[in-house]
Amino acid sequence: MTQHWIIEALTNLRIYAAENNLTALAEHLDAAIQLAHLELANLEKAPPEPPPRDGNSKDDG
């Protein structure tokens, strides 16, 4: 899927953080990478979004 670029970007940031002794940031980026993998996997399994509702509906609230 085309959104996997975000994994690469987060990984590059994580490498930079680790190489520059930004330990806490590197750990948080590890968690962000794991979360991105999970969310992207869920997007790939999700059914397609329904079309937007017609703006003429009186059921807005």
Q: Does some domain include residue 59? A: no
Q: Does some domain include residue 9? A: yes
Angle between helices 23-45 and 5-19 (to 10 degrees): 170
How far is it, in rounded angstroms, from Cα 18 to Cα 25?
A: 8
Give the best-scoring range by mean pLDDT among 26-35, 36-45, 48-57. Answer: 26-35
Q: Check residue 5 and give its pLDDT.
A: 93
Q: Does some domain include residue 56? A: no
Q: How many domains does the chain have?
A: 1
Residue 55 pLDDT level (bands cut at 50, 70, 90) = low
Q: Does some domain include residue 57? A: no
Q: Does some domain include residue 34? A: yes
pTM (2 d.p.): 0.68
Q: Does some domain include residue 60? A: no
Q: Check residue 31 and give its pLDDT.
A: 98
Q: Does some domain include residue 16? A: yes
Tokens of 29: 């980026």
Q: Check residue 3 and give its pLDDT.
A: 80
Domain holding 38, by residue range, is: 2-45
Q: Does some domain include residue 58? A: no
